[in-house]
Structure 1
Amino acid sequence: MKNGKIRWSILGLIWVVILGLVFFTMPSTKQAVSQNQTIKLPASYTTAQAQKIQSDWNSQTKNKHKIQGRQAIVVFNNGNKKLTKIQSDKIAKKVTNLNKQRKQYGIDTIVSAKTSEAAERELVATDGSTQLVQVTLQRNADVGKLNKALNISGLHVYLTGSSILNQTLAQEIRAGLQHTELIAIAIILVMLVLVFKSPIIPLTTLASVGISVAVSKWLVLKMVLAGWIPFSNFTFVLMVVVLYGIGTDYNILLYTNFKKQLETKPLAVAIKQTYRQAGRTMLLSGMAVFVGMASLAFAKFAPYQSVVGVALSILVLLTVLMTLTPAFMGLLGSKLFWPRRELKQKQTNSRVWGTLAKISINRPVATLIVVLGLFGGLALAPKQSVDYNTALEVSDHQPAKQGLMVIKKHYPAGMISPTTIYLASNQRLDTQANLQILDELTSKINHISGVQTVASVTQPYGQPVAELYIGNQLRAVSKNLSQANQGVADLQAGVDQTQTQLKQQDIARQVKAIDKLSDGSAKVAKGTKKVATSLNEANATVKKMAKYLKKHQKDLDEPQYALLSMYLETLQTKLGKDAPTMTDELVDKANALVAPINELSKGAQKVSAGNQELAAKVETLPGEQAKLQDQLDKSKTGLAGLKTGIKSLNGYLAELEKSPAGQTFYVPKTMMRNPKFQPALNNYLAPNRKTAKLLVILTVDASSPQAMKIFDQLQTITKGTLLGTPLAQTKIAMGGGTATTHDLRHISRADMQRTMLIMLIGIGIVLIFATQSLLQPVYILGLLLLIYRLTLVITNWLTSQVLGQTSLTWTTPFLVFVMLLSLGVDYSLFYLKHWHNNGWQLSGLAGGARTIGIVVEAAILILGATFAAMLPAGVMTLSQIALAIMTGLILLGILLPLVLPALLTLTYRKSKINSHEAETRIKD
């Protein structure tokens, strides 16, 4: 006896030492949350590929630590009133100070309304009430410290963004879990006191479960930080509720059996017998739950894989219950049940389970028909709507959530989380042909219903740059031709003036007008050169256009190419043939006109020197005048034809400008080197110019069902636009909130079905060994699936009526499945193993239901109250899980004693089974 006490004391001391080491070496939960803040998706999903492309992009830049940065948005809001100039100046000053102190606050980059005109258009609300500042935070940035630094008197200031919202949600879950744990401890203490009529057993139960929680948390954090297992916001939630749930169940089972053994056996024998019976049941049940959860290591989705941490906690719990709990039994013995002195008292049984089991055994077929009739149709109800918007889970009183609501009110709904389309090619994208493809893609996306703006290298401000399109360039050619036309008009005026002067009969007056005539002829020559220059420029431009069209014939469809070819052939005919001949002749005529006029001017000057010379010159004037008139008539004819040609050309150009061809993107080489175009190249093309990105802002919420439809269109149009082009082999990836939600929906739905199957198979295998039967595991798992479906349907209705939430969060169905499967397997095995221990006799089904029913009812009552403690936490997922588990526990308490005895009765009532056979062979 004394040796036994020493042994149990040593075991207890070992756990005290372990608990002390755990307490002083507990890893940081914040660090684990920070490392796993974003949901990691498999590499085959587009968001994972987008992250890889962005990392490669960042690695090419000087500021390489931006790879680890997280995007956030600072919201400065003046309610519904327009920001005053004083307030705007305060915001600008605040941004300036933040820029100076970026290192202090862990800020990498800041983009504000003062950064550029484009940024101002994007970041200042149209009603002027709100300004946004985009910041990139380092992973270790102190958000609380930054929040304090952002405060401006008289303004609402919020720090928000997807990473900030996720961090806020994690904090809320941790706070809610701590709150729930404290309430759960109080509830368990009270309920166990009522069940065992003793304060000692509740304390030892909480001690064993509490140590299991602490050691499990330490172990899981160590493995998470080492990168051995994944982690999610709900790892500890599930761990705590599972350990407190099944830990309490197992303690009730052990202490109930121990009390029964102590009635007739010595302490050492009672402990041994307790673990031979109840301990064996506990191990089988715990291993079934462990195998089920551990099998989730084969899941693809990290949040589902994180359940492996909960599986490890099951092993810790079983270890504690197999060592520390018997130590309590050995050290305290019957004192565990103090203040009771007599242990042998009338056994309390469950009337509810006994009555339900009796009905089920007497009328198994009718019972199953009624159950299926009442619950089968409900279980087959349409699937419940599931929301994948993490922001909805954050409480409305949180500043990050309030900032999000301000953005949604004053900006496009998709502003908070734009979609980024990445195009990773093996060739440079800053060529004319590839830029044209990118511009075509940008324009097509811009026409999708639900898209607010699209920004790309060719449309950096969300709008086409007019100078980069052929229509605008044709407008410039038309302008040159209009100037040429004006030159022709000036030329015609000069010719008319010259002819008028020549027609004067008064030679003296003609002599006086010679200088004016000389000036007119000079204007003719100047105008002619101007016309020639303009026409030559137009001719050169058309030649370039024709050369470009021929080079990129394969990039245009047949009708478009034919239309362009027709216009350009006509232009080439007019400008390439008629115009050069016309202009050359016109220049020759003008030069011929200038020479005699100048000569005439010289003669007129000599008149004053001598009458003879004047007479000689004047006598020659009529002949020269006739020649000159003839030349001027020819010039007028040429000028009229030239004016008609220019008018015709302008008509062609106007048609071409308005045609679809006018919308063709074309970047001259000079524009590529233009400093004004460099920011667009640097922002939307990677430094190696082989990767491009497009930023798409939607008019709808990034996580809404409408956004999912738009996302599908984005993928289809992007792939379709690149198909058949030189960029057909380009890798396409999408990032941002909509892409993440899209991938999250896809993988969570697909992997949940796969995960459920894995868990069912894993637990089923353990149940086969535990029950020595093939059918009994099928009965158990089938019943639990029915209860799970019923639970979701009822929970969806309750969340709508009680919590005012129209849909379940995406994590709720999975967490509820894991919990109900774990608890359901426990309660089923408690019942079946009691039946097995009594020889598999059908007569023992009702008695077993009464005996085990009281244990299960106590566990259900305690667990139900424990989960009810999660409702005040204020976290949507925790509230929904609480309602679901409470609902599922009630259904378990009703359906398990109805369905399982009925199925067992129908299976075994024709078999002659004795105790020996039950222990040596499989009965099915």
Structure 2
Amino acid sequence: MCAAVILLPNVGQLVRDKGQMKLPSSAKSQVAQVIQDNWGRDQGNTRQVVVVFNNGSSPLTTAQKNRIKQTVSHFKTSKQKYGIKDVTAANDNAATKKQLISKDKSTELLQLMVDKQQTVKKMKTLITSGAKTQGVKTYVTGSDILNDDFIQETEQGLKKTELITVIFIFIILTLVFRSPITPLVSLLSVGVSFIISLSVVMNLVEKFNFPLSNFTQVFMVVVLFGIGTDYNILLFDQYKEELSREKDVITATRNALRIAGRTILYSGSSVLIGFTALGLANFSVYRSAVGVAVAVAVLLLVLLTLNPFFMWILGRRLFWPTKNFGSGSSSRLWHGISTRAVRHPFIAIALVLVIGVPFLATYHNELNYDTLAELNDSIPAKKGFKVVQKHFSKGTAEPSTLYIKTNHPLNNEKDLKEIDALTRRLKKIAGVKTVASVTQPGGSEISSLYVTKQLKTVTNGMKSASSGLNQIGTGLNSANQQLGNANLQQGVTGAKQLASGTATLKSGSQQLSSGATTLANGASALQQGTTTYTSGINTLNNALNTLNSKQSQITTGVGTLNSSVAKLQSGSQQVAAGLAQLQSKVNAATGTGNTAQIQELKSKLGELNSAMAQLEKSTGSTNLPDISGIKTTATALTSSSTKAQNDAQTLQTALTSLASSNSDAATQQKMLNEIFAAIAQTGTALNTQQKAALTTVMSSIAKSNVQQLSGATTAASSLKNDLSALTTAGNSLNTELNQLNALSSQLSQLSNLNQLAASSIQANTASMQALDKLSSAVQGMQQIKSALNGSTGQTGLTSGSQQVASGLSQLSSGTDEMASQLSQYTSGVASVTAGANKLASNSGTLTNGTAQLAAGNQQLAEKQSELTAGLTTVNSGQQTMYNSLQGLVGQMQTLRNGLSTASNGTQKINQGVGSANSYLTGLKNSAASKTYYVPKSVLQGKTYKQSLQAYMSGNYNATKITIVLDENPSSESAMNKISTIQDQAQKSLKGTALAGATVAIGGQTSTTHDLQQTASNDFLRTATIMLIGILIALMVITRSVLQPLYILGTLLLAYVMSLSITKLISSAFLGQSMLTWNTPFFGFIMLIALGVDYSIFLMMKYREFGNFTGTPIIRIVRASAVIGTVVISAAVILSGTFAALIPSGVLTLIQVALVVIIGLIILVFAIPTIIPSLIRLTYPLKDKMDDEEKFKETEKKQK
């Protein structure tokens, strides 16, 4: 006893750790649990907890929502403190918001995945403390929490049961034996049995995983105290009877053990066999009742050893203060019932059937599998669960989860399509409210991921493409017509004239170069003369005669100057004529017709580009038109633009050189002005008319040349750049046409039409850019034209050349006049003498000026050669341009042929697009279009990744589908739907890529469904084994075949009637219209195992009386009368023991107690009615008549 107490483990913790219901590993809910435990993403070995935030029936206010957000944030930031692995809140995304906020906005849920390493009690305490939110009703619930609350309810109920049982047994035994000592001894022996057996069972559980459940300890208490007290009553009653006959206590004890002990052993053996048979059960809850068998074995050992000890030690004091030890009293009730039963056996049996059949007929085995029914309504977890069922659907609090596990990743388009098809099929099952999966995370279809929506977009694009193709055909025809009307020959002629004018300009430039050389020679001579003049000035005072001798040189120089000016005048006239011809050619080349044609062609290509953009949106298949003509044209255009670019480069170089030369001419003019000033200082100043004429001519020449050549240089640079861009565009166009030509052989199907459109768009864009460059080139030519013609406020190059010629004419006139004035100059020499000294002092300046003039003239001569070379290059480039344009005329026909072919091709494409659109429209309206398709870009996107993480395992080999039913998840209807869902899932995946996948549905409803299947099947199996075991034991005890059948028939009748009556009482007084799922089983084993005792008591007394009389009727009536008191007392005690379960508040215990109590009451009346009646009908008629006569004689003697 002391060892049992010392070695007793922590019973409560063992029940929590090893006493939970265990379904077979093959059950679908257990398969699903294994998949969940290996899910990954930190969700393995976790339990789900739901935090409920509620504001009654009113919507949550803004302040309440903010406080809830703070609570949620607290949980997310304190995961380690609470053991949380994952948090799912309403504000995480749109899908969770839809699922976790009630429609009336009064309730919000927070889902937590909590590590199982901590106990449920500790976890519940921590999370409840953290979930408290000011101004909001907060509950923490979940299946594990509800189960833990049930364990606590059972433990508290057990404590009440133990106390009430002890008090009740003490009172009953005191009344039966009229002694306080007897109850104490009985309770002591049973209590010792209980403590020892409890220690043995719990150590077996701890060390060998012996079967255990929440009810093991409870039923050990009621069975041990119930039958233990019954056995004690039987033993002590026999002992009391033996004391009335024997004065020796030891002899009385021995006789009591021989008679009552044998009955106890037989009866206890049948109970032991019945509970031991439960060890063969498959269901853990049923198998856990085998612990009662261990307790019964210990009880029998203690009762047959410890009780005799007290009987021998106490003797008659065991019944103190009773002094009457007469024989045991008989039961008038059982005697009267058995007497009438044997007299009228048919009536007795008929009466039993009349009473029992209605209960048998009205009983339906509808059981309640809802764990909530076991709990008191005041428990917070149950309140929270009820709040969820009220404000959401009844299935929201405990959704079901369908798992699909394969040996390959499921995050691909093919498998996702099958998952979505299954999701849509599950939605069609009656009673299913919402279905959420990886393809429908919010519980509703995403229309953009279905072929129907995608085909609608395609067909709309096809319509636009058809319209665009019509526009393309029209544009191509128009472009072809415009090209046909274009007069490119005129442009070729203008280019030829431009080249001719440039040649003329080149000739004039050569003449200008010759004149510049002559001018340079004259300047050199002037420099020498200045030197001589300076020397003469120095000796002026001494040699005026020398000065006179030099007058002839002056006259010669003037003559030479006059001749040079005449030549310059002739050259400038030739330049003017050449520029005039150049201007006419440029005007011809920059006509408005070509520009208008270019703009119109650009506009048509823009329309073509827009149409191709519409075509790109759709797909189809047709033959691409022949584009070889366009490619040939693009190649020629590239070649021509390259040559034109080279010509522009040459022209730019020449004009730049010419501008530089004229800039030097301006410097020369400045020097001449200084010379004029120096001559003026000598006193022989030129007259105003001569000076003005010379200055105007030189200034006009310099200014005009610089301005016009600068403008021409800029225009040539722009022309070069534009032609360079045109070359680049042509190369780009040629490249795109090469790509387009390569693709044309491949684009034979409508699905690749968009690539053709894209390539066409790029090619057209390049063409438009090329046209822009060509337009820019034309504009450059117009700039050259403007430079030649001049603009407002600025003289043109042609006009400037004319001004040069006019100025030279004036200069010639001035030199003539200067020659006529030489005589006057000679006469004025005398007057020069007076200023000779002053002139000598300034002769250095004059020398420097003449040196600069000579240098400038030398540079002018050099630049004139560069100008000539530049004009030669320009002339060559223009000739090349002329040849290119002449070739372009022939290529334009090729381009027109290509445009015509393209126009015909667009018509064929349009026909193909129309056919494809008709087919796709039909497909869109068919059932085949309702197919899920996720593009690769969407599948790899950030948004879809969230869905994959939420509904697929860490390695993507498993996925889950969350199913919410619209009814109580523990109801019979919900469990039937689980079977339908499981069958539908397996059928839907047959013939698909997921045909070999493991499919299992988990969740509370699935667990309950598996529990129902397992419990129902194992109940029948276990009950059959138990009945067979008891039947064999009864055959051994009664030494009969029929009597065990009579006994078991009586017990089964009492069992079914008690179930029916208990159901009526439960509905009327407990508010529960159904029995809990385990009530029939526990009621069966308790009533059958314990009720058989009373039958064994009767039959053992019947056999005992067989030693004194051989009439079965008399023996059964006497046995009934004698044993009736014991059975009634035992039934009262056992009923009281089970009645002690009612205050526990646990529905299962209450209903089991009612079944046993009602069953015992029925047996009290059924046993003395059925068994004597059947025994009466068992024997032959002659024996019956003899028994009848002996029975009457016995009755007379008794009276």
AA in 1 matched with 2:11: T
Q: CA deviation at 1:317?
A: 1.2
AA in 2 matched with 1:31: Q
* 8 Å Cα contact 1:259/1:343 also seen in 2: no
| 1:179 is aligned to 2:156 | no
Q: 2:267 is matched with which residue: 285, 302, 327? A: 285
* 8 Å Cα contact 1:436/1:665 also seen in 2: yes
Q: CA deviation at 1:249?
A: 0.5
Q: 1:696 is matched with which residue: 949, 963, 968? A: 963
Q: 2:276 is matched with which residue: 291, 294, 304? A: 294
Q: 1:310 is matched with which residue: 292, 301, 304? A: 292
Q: What SS does the corresponding residue of 2:255 show, helix, strand or coil? A: helix
* 8 Å Cα contact 2:464/2:615 also seen in 1: no
Q: CA deviation at 1:179?
A: 1.2
* 8 Å Cα contact 1:247/1:317 also seen in 2: yes
AA in 2 matched with 1:83: L
Aligned residues: 857
Structure 1 runs not aligned, ≥5 long: 1-17, 544-570, 915-924
Percent pairwise identity? 35
Q: 1:838 is matched with which residue: 1105, 1108, 1129? A: 1105
Root-mean-square deviation (CA, aligned residues, Å) is 4.0
Q: CA deviation at 1:603?
A: 6.8
Q: 2:1164 is matched with which residue: 890, 893, 905? A: 893
Q: 1:126 is matched with which residue: 97, 103, 110? A: 103
Show the counterpart of 2:990: 723
Show the counterpart of 2:129: 148
Q: 1:791 is matched with which residue: 1034, 1038, 1058? A: 1058
Show the counterpart of 2:838: none
Q: Which has the larger radius of gyration?
A: 2
AA in 1 matched with 2:82: Y
The separation in 2 between residues aligned to 1:603 and 1:642, in whole angstroms, is 42
Q: 1:40 is matched with which residue: 5, 22, 39? A: 22
Q: CA deviation at 1:844?
A: 2.4
Q: What SS does the corresponding residue of 2:962 show, helix, strand or coil? A: strand
The separation in 1 between residues aligned to 2:1001 and 2:621, in whole angstroms, is 40
The separation in 2 between residues aligned to 1:577 and 1:209, in whole angstroms, is 93
Q: CA deviation at 1:866?
A: 3.0
Q: What SS does the corresponding residue of 2:434 show, helix, strand or coil? A: strand
AA in 1 matched with 2:1135: G
* 8 Å Cα contact 1:108/1:138 also seen in 2: yes
Show the counterpart of 1:243: 224
The separation in 2 between residues aligned to 1:605 and 1:650, in whole angstroms, is 53
AA in 2 matched with 1:893: V
The farther-off stretch of 596-605 and 769-778 is 596-605
Show the counterpart of 2:1124: 853
Q: CA deviation at 1:387?
A: 1.3
Distance 1:631 1:319, change over 3 A: closer
The farther-off stretch of 520-529 and 686-695 is 520-529
The farther-off stretch of 275-284 and 516-525 is 516-525
The farther-off stretch of 399-408 and 430-439 is 430-439
Q: CA deviation at 1:406?
A: 0.5
AA in 2 matched with 1:861: V
Q: 2:1146 is matched with which residue: 872, 875, 889? A: 875
Q: How does 1:508-587 map to 2 (within 5 A)?
A: 518-519=598-599, 521-529=601-609, 531-532=611-612, 535=615, 538-539=618-619
AA in 1 matched with 2:106: S
Q: CA deviation at 1:36?
A: 3.9
Give the alignment's TM-score, normalised by structure 2.
0.66
* 8 Å Cα contact 2:482/2:597 also seen in 1: no
Q: How does 1:267-666 map to 2 (within 5 A)?
A: 267-340=249-322, 342-345=323-326, 347-477=328-458, 518-519=598-599, 521-529=601-609, 531-532=611-612, 535=615, 538-539=618-619, 598=775, 608=786, 653-666=920-933
Distance 1:517 1:171, change over 3 A: farther
Q: 1:216 is matched with which residue: 194, 197, 218? A: 197
Partner deviation per Cα, 1:604-655 (whole Å, 9 max, x = no partner): 6666567999xx9xxx9xx99x999999999889878877876776565454
Partner deviation per Cα, 1:800-833 (whole Å, 9 max, x = no partner): 1222211111111111111111221110111111
Show the counterpart of 1:683: 950
The separation in 2 between residues aligned to 1:539 and 1:240, in whole angstroms, is 81
The separation in 2 between residues aligned to 1:783 and 1:486, in whole angstroms, is 91
Q: How does 1:35-184 map to 2 (within 5 A)?
A: 35-36=17-18, 38-55=20-37, 57-58=38-39, 61=40, 63=42, 66-139=43-116, 140-141=118-119, 142=122, 143-184=124-165
AA in 2 matched with 1:157: T
Q: What SS does the corresponding residue of 1:416 show, helix, strand or coil? A: coil
The separation in 1 between residues aligned to 2:754 and 2:338, in whole angstroms, is 107
Show the counterpart of 1:22: 4
The separation in 1 between residues aligned to 2:93 and 2:761, in whole angstroms, is 53
AA in 1 matched with 2:1175: L
Q: What SS does the corresponding residue of 1:414 show, helix, strand or coil? A: coil
AA in 2 matched with 1:728: A
Q: CA deviation at 1:409?
A: 0.9
Show the counterpart of 1:204: 185
The separation in 2 between residues aligned to 1:484 and 1:540, in whole angstroms, is 10
Q: CA deviation at 1:310?
A: 1.1
The separation in 2 between residues aligned to 1:632 and 1:607, in whole angstroms, is 34
| 1:773 is aligned to 2:1033 | no
* 8 Å Cα contact 1:456/1:695 also seen in 2: yes
Q: CA deviation at 1:533?
A: 6.0
Distance 1:779 1:695, change over 3 A: same
Q: How does 1:184-195 map to 2 (within 5 A)?
A: 184-195=165-176
Partner deviation per Cα, 1:444-500 (whole Å, 9 max, x = no partner): 112222222222222233233344333344455457657767877997998999999
The separation in 1 between residues aligned to 2:787 and 2:918, in whole angstroms, is 56
Show the counterpart of 2:662: none
Distance 1:588 1:115, change over 3 A: closer
Q: CA deviation at 1:501?
A: 14
AA in 1 matched with 2:295: S
AA in 2 matched with 1:164: I
Show the counterpart of 1:782: 1049
AA in 2 matched with 1:171: Q
The separation in 2 between residues aligned to 1:662 and 1:594, in whole angstroms, is 46
Q: What SS does the corresponding residue of 1:70 show, helix, strand or coil? A: strand
Partner deviation per Cα, 1:773-797 (whole Å, 9 max, x = no partner): 2222111111111111111111111
Q: What SS does the corresponding residue of 1:221 show, helix, strand or coil? A: helix
AA in 1 matched with 2:353: L
* 8 Å Cα contact 2:1105/2:1115 also seen in 1: yes
AA in 1 matched with 2:294: L
Distance 1:488 1:519, change over 3 A: farther
The separation in 1 between residues aligned to 2:598 and 2:779, in whole angstroms, is 7
Q: What SS does the corresponding residue of 1:421 show, helix, strand or coil? A: strand
* 8 Å Cα contact 1:521/1:590 also seen in 2: no
Give the alignment's TM-score, normalised by structure 1.
0.84
The separation in 1 between residues aligned to 2:1084 and 2:1067, in whole angstroms, is 20
The farther-off stretch of 196-205 and 431-440 is 431-440
The separation in 1 between residues aligned to 2:757 and 2:136, in whole angstroms, is 73
Q: CA deviation at 1:383?
A: 2.4
Distance 1:304 1:632, change over 3 A: closer
| 1:902 is aligned to 2:1173 | yes
The separation in 2 between residues aligned to 1:581 and 1:373, in whole angstroms, is 92
Structure 2 runs not aligned, ≥5 long: 488-586, 624-746, 790-797, 799-877, 1187-1199
The farther-off stretch of 201-210 and 226-235 is 226-235
Show the counterpart of 1:559: none
